[in-house]
Amino acid sequence: MFTIVFRIVQFGFKGFRRNGWLSTATVAITILALMVFVGLILFRVTTQHAVVSIQDKIDISVYFKNNTSEDQILNIKQSLENLSEVKDVNYVSSDKALELFKTAHKNEQVISQAVNELNTNPFQASLSIKAQKPEQYATIARYLSAPNLSNYIDNVSYAKNQVVIDRLARIIDNVNKAGFTLTLLLSLIAGLVVFNTIRLAIYSNREEIGIMRVVGASNALVRGPYMVEGIISGAIAAVASLIFIAPAIYFASPYLAVFIPGLNLFQYFIANFITLLGYQLLFGIGIGALSSFIAVRRYLKS
């Protein structure tokens, strides 16, 4: 058994070297597919950081009527914190809001003087609510519109932020779908290239295969070397795709960090290199082995 496996692997490496240009083309196309695949993984990491960064700036504010007591506001705050869609709720009293306003405009004498001349506090108590995901703000807004809560609420700022929130969720969803579609398309192309490469190799070696079948070689012995060729192509492409994409990530990482604070994409790439390599090997070898299996299976049936 060991001898048979060794011969299959040996013939597979010989076939890969013998079909030099075809093997190179197969590896090149597979590299493109795998680069898009790992690019999609890194893009998802980038968008997750972008969402977190933007969500820190986007929220919905709930302003309460002046006759609403602090206990009632804190009860509403607690009920919001129990919602699975809610990430954080921050309470700002009317006095705190006035204090924050004065601090923000302390260098503007006209505004500071106008505020100091007021006999009453013009600011309302409010809750600042952050959702787990952008698309969940609509659910939170519907919860706040319930009759038992609307009696205390004067205004909800969701309508002002709804366009930005919905647009962000839509862009992320569309780009993820486009990346997934592109990965599938290039994977299909890579699979077809491997398939046709193996078919051409089979055609060029048809006399040798015919002799093997005449002398009683099993289908596994005939099929094995070509599957090894597909596995070699996928493995080489997996490693090469990460080598080729690493410089691009290194140079792009500082620019992404400017727009998305806290994101170091190259550091993530290095820290998760083994995991990414595992994904690439699994994907690349899967494409090569499956395409080779189908190509040889069709020949053996004919």
pLDDT tens string 213-230 = 677 767 677 778 778 888
Residue 294 has pLDDT above 70, yes or no: yes
Instruction: Tell me which of 157, 188, 214 is where a domain ends.
Output: 157
Helix, strand, coil % in the chain, rounded to nearest 5: 75, 5, 15
Chain center to CA of 160: 28
Domain count along the chain: 2
Looking at residue 242, its pLDDT comes to: 93
Query: Is there a single domain that holds both residue 81 and residue 113?
Result: yes
The overall pTM is greater than 0.75: no
Is 174 inside any structural domain? Answer: yes
Question: Which comes out higher in pLDDT, residue 57 or 266?
Answer: 266
**Separation between Cα atoms, residue 272 and residue 108, nearest integer Å:** 50
CB 230 within 8 A of CB 292: yes
Do 199 and 129 share a structural domain? no
- 58, 62, 55: which is closest to 145 by C-alpha? 62
Residue 206: its pLDDT value, please?
Answer: 67
User: Of 157, 183, 218, which marks where a domain is finished?
Assistant: 157
Last residue of a domain, one of 112, 135, 157: 157
Could you tell me if 180 and 285 lie in one domain? yes
36 pLDDT above the threshold of 90: no
Each residue of 101-123: pLDDT tens digit? Answer: 878 777 777 776 776 777 777 88
- Is there a single domain that holds both residue 41 and residue 173? yes
The arithmetic mean of pLDDT across residues 26-54, rounded, is 79
Task: Name the residue among 247, 257, 281, 238 with its Cα closest to residue 31.
Answer: 238
Positive or negative, the CA dihedral 77, 79, 83, 85 is negative
Tens of pLDDT along 181-215? 877 777 777 667 667 766 766 666 666 666 766 77
Question: Is 163 inside a domain boundary?
Answer: no
Task: Say which range, 62-76, 96-110, 169-183, has the weakest mean pLDDT.
Answer: 169-183
Average confidence score pLDDT of the chain:
80
Q: Percent of the chain beyond pLDDT 90?
A: 15
Question: Are 79 and 200 part of one and the same domain?
Answer: no
What count of other Cβ atoms lies within 10 Å of the Cβ of residue 25? 16
Q: Which domain holds residue 80?
A: 60-157
Tell me how far apart the alpha carbons of residues 150 and 291 are, in angstroms, rounded to a whole number: 61
- The pLDDT score that the predictor gives to residue 267 is 92
Report yes or no: 226 and 12 within 8 Å, Cβ to Cβ. yes
What are the C-alpha distances in Å from 235 to residues 11, 64, 153, 277, 284? 17, 62, 61, 10, 6
Q: What is the mean pLDDT of residues 50-63?
A: 75
